[in-house]
Structure 1
Amino acid sequence: MVLSLRQARKSDAAEIALLVNIAVHGNMARGWAHDEEAEGTYDPLEVGRLEMLKDDVFGWRNATMAEDDGEIAGMLLGYRKPDEKQGVPVDIWAPLKPIQELEEEANGRFFISMLGVHKHWRGKGAGSLLLDDADKRAAKTLANGQALIVEDANEGARKLYERRGFSVTQSRPMVPFPGVSPHGSEWLLMVKE
């Protein structure tokens, strides 16, 4: 096993969508299933693939892939946040509002939007290798540190982030996604200066 990193390619969009969905315990696919673009796609992950193909910050261009012998082990999706706050849209979907509020506090930082690792690759260094890449990308963009959002109940991820120098700076109560029991009770903003 020799994990290596590479910049995502457009052809990775489906794998990125799958790993984004894994990173948020299947909640993205639930949202994608109700997206107006879902009609005729037959699968919420196809909507996710289409989302990852877009040329915005939450797309394939800002993803790094960890792989071993052509097998994708994990992915980090991140970007430098603008220095000025952008504001939370007033019409934002309620389950996303606390997440967006916390993300607003990450301005000027390199924001790790998603870090997803396939189950059989967890505990084998993929997450750490991807966080090494985040360190390099943060330095390259002259970011004022790094930030990410994690569920309070995701102890494995929290421990990894704490070992890497992140600490909790703020929290917001979770608003449950419709039909889903939340894994925790709060969203946590973790920052690495």
Structure 2
Amino acid sequence: MDTPYKIRKATASDSHRVPEIMLQAMEDMIFRLILKEDQQAAVQFLTQLFQQKGNLYSYENTFVAVDIDDRIIGSLTGYDGDRFIELRQPILDLIADHYANNLIPETETAGGEFYIDSIAVAPIARGKGIGTKLLHHAITHAKENHFNQVGLLVDLANPNARKLYERIGFNIGKKTSVAGSEYYHMYMQLT
């Protein structure tokens, strides 16, 4: 029998678990931002951002999947793509000030969509449909907030994720590069 779980809005106090899960979806990107391949430093970096408002990785842009004991087993971070530049700026400021990194990664979304920045499921909870449930929750959120489209990037080297997104109803858009990696922009029209 599958463990029951629910999706809820994240809170700042979820920082004890969410950044560690979130890192699974974007480890390479975070290592590029902090200029070192150090998981503990990467989790600290994400924790600082997650606890603050007004940035891409903030709790205010995150949904979590929790089990019956309220343990966080998955997360999805998404936001209005039209706010990408504004929400990215605190991250650029942090990496410049604390990591001496002046990298400005390419824009991940052209706007006009609810953009799913990251989605990850804890290893112990994989294969139970939690990622799919998080995606459906984000799509419902986008519809309720009158977005016409949901978008995300999928790594060309991750065909299984691409198949999952296609099965849910996402279409393949243009190929794009972000911080040295190749992705497809995938989208789902809502209207």
The 4+ residue runs of structure 1 with deviation greater than 6 A are: 83-86
TM-score by length of 1: 0.77
Q: Equivalent of 1:123, from 107, 110, 127?
A: 127
The equivalent position to 1:4 in structure 2, one of 6, 15, 22, is 6
Aligned to 2:46: 48
CA distances 1:127-170 after superposition (whole Å, capped 9, x unpaired): 11101111111012110110001101112211111011101111
Q: 1:174 to 1:7 in 2, by over 3 A?
A: closer
User: How far 1:120 moved relative to its partner?
Assistant: 2.4
Which position in structure 1 is the counterpart of 2:174?
A: 170
> Structure 2: which amino acid aligns with 1:79?
Y
- What's the counterpart of residue 93 of structure 1? 103
Please give the alpha-carbon distance, in whole angstroms, between the structure 2 residues aligned to 1:175 and 1:46. Answer: 21
8 A contact 1:57–1:79 mirrored in 2: no
Q: RMSD between aligned alpha carbons?
A: 2.8
Matches for 1:126-141 after TM superposition, within 5 Å:
126-141=130-145
Distance 1:123 1:132 in 2: 16
Is contact 1:109–1:144 with CA below 8 Å preserved after alignment? yes
The secondary structure found in structure 2 opposite 1:76 is strand
1:103 aligned to 2:103? no
Distance in structure 1 (CA, Å) of the matches to 2:84 and 2:18: 28
- TM-score (norm: length of structure 2): 0.78
- 2:98 corresponds to which residue? none
Q: Does 1:158 align with 2:162?
A: yes
Letter paired with 2:67: D
Gapped regions of structure 2 (runs ≥ 5)? 90-100
Q: Equivalents in 1 of 2:33, 2:174: separation in Å?
A: 28
Match of 2:109, SS?
A: helix
| Counterpart secondary structure, 2:60 | helix
User: Can you list the C-alpha shifts for 1:32-53, whole angstroms capped at 9, x where unaligned?
Assistant: 5449xxxxxx733112100111
Q: 1:115 to 1:83 in 2, by over 3 A?
A: closer
